[in-house]
Chains A and B, each alone.
Chain A
Amino acid sequence: MSAIAFPAVKPTSRSYSPGNFPQTAFKAQNGAQTIVRFGNRRVDSTLQLSFSNISDSQAALILQHYEQVNGDWNYATFGVDNALAGNGFEINIYMGETASGLRWRYSSPPSVESVYPGVSSVSCAFVGVLDGN
């Protein structure tokens, strides 16, 4: 298992959710609620990236990255030259999941839409996974 850096393609839009803490709520008939927590670290953060009107060669780099990450159960890493472009350092700690221990993996295959000869738009979705040792 190794880190595979995302190719140097900057997204057009980006959406991030920090995920939630694993817990289950039980509610009694009288309305009392009990919550059982299973951990103190958040999981299932999500990152959605869209790349509009990029070249076909850049789209191919993303598909190649998808194969590299999933072919050998690796994980994706991001930086300011790709998915985290335009972000400040503080928020990149979260969006890059550099301190949380979460690892980015594709939650679904990238979607490629052909726009024009040589031009495509790509959408990617990632989920932050807390790998057990």
Chain B
Amino acid sequence: MPFYAGQQGKLFIDGSTTPAAKVVSWSFTSTANVLDTTTLSDTDRTLIYGVRSMSGSCRLYYYNYAEGAAVKNDCASLLNKIIKTGSTAGDGENAASDPVTLRLYVDDGTSTGKFLDLPALLTNVSMSMSVGEVLAADVSFEVNGAPLSSSNLTNS
């Protein structure tokens, strides 16, 4: 299977062995800053690598499903990472937001698949309810450090 499309995409949350339900999309961006090393006698700009960074986003439908006797909602699980409740109005000291490990997965037909394991901090969650649309959450994240060594998406 030389090409991959949305049918082969999955998202795993926090090491779960079952993929998150009703994921519409995921994406990531890897960026490397460069440091300018051009000096006075140079005629062309010279560079060295600086700090790398990764960020990304995903979109999940807000969808309840049964797993055994329990009701699960993977979108709500992600919301719970960043949204924490307080006991009273004006309560400013509440639980900190939680980090999350996301596996961005491509089913390439092998037993392991191809994936990136990203230790991430959710930076933005956006939801809107409107007539004629299914409720979904747009989640943005920043990767905390480098992708985990278990990742194999960059292996040929």
Nearest 3 pairs of A and B residues by beta carbon: A10-B39, A86-B41, A86-B40
Find chain B residues with CB under 8 A from A119 CB.
Answer: 35, 48, 50
Q: B18-54: contact bitstring with A at CB < 8 Å (1 yes, 0 no)?
A: 0000000000000000011111111000001011000
Judge if A68 is at the interface, Cβ distance under 8 Å: no
Q: Which of A1-30 contact B (CB under 8 A)?
A: 10-14
The residue from B37, B40, B50 contacting A13, defined by CB atoms under 8 A apart: B40
B36 touching A52 by the CB < 8 A rule? Answer: yes
A34 and B76 alpha carbons, distance in the complex (Å): 84
B positions within 8 Å CB-CB of A: 35-42, 48, 50-51
A11:B40 contact, CB within 8 angstroms: yes
* Structural contact, A85 and B40, CB atoms closer than 8 A: yes
A38 sits at the interface (CB 8 A): no
Give the shortest distance, in Å, between A76 (CB) and chain B (any CB).
Answer: 17
- Whether the Cβ atoms of A53 and B40 lie closer than 8 Å is no
**Is the CB–CB distance between A116 and B39 below 8 Å?**
no
Asked if A115 is an interface residue, CB under 8 A from chain B, the answer is: yes
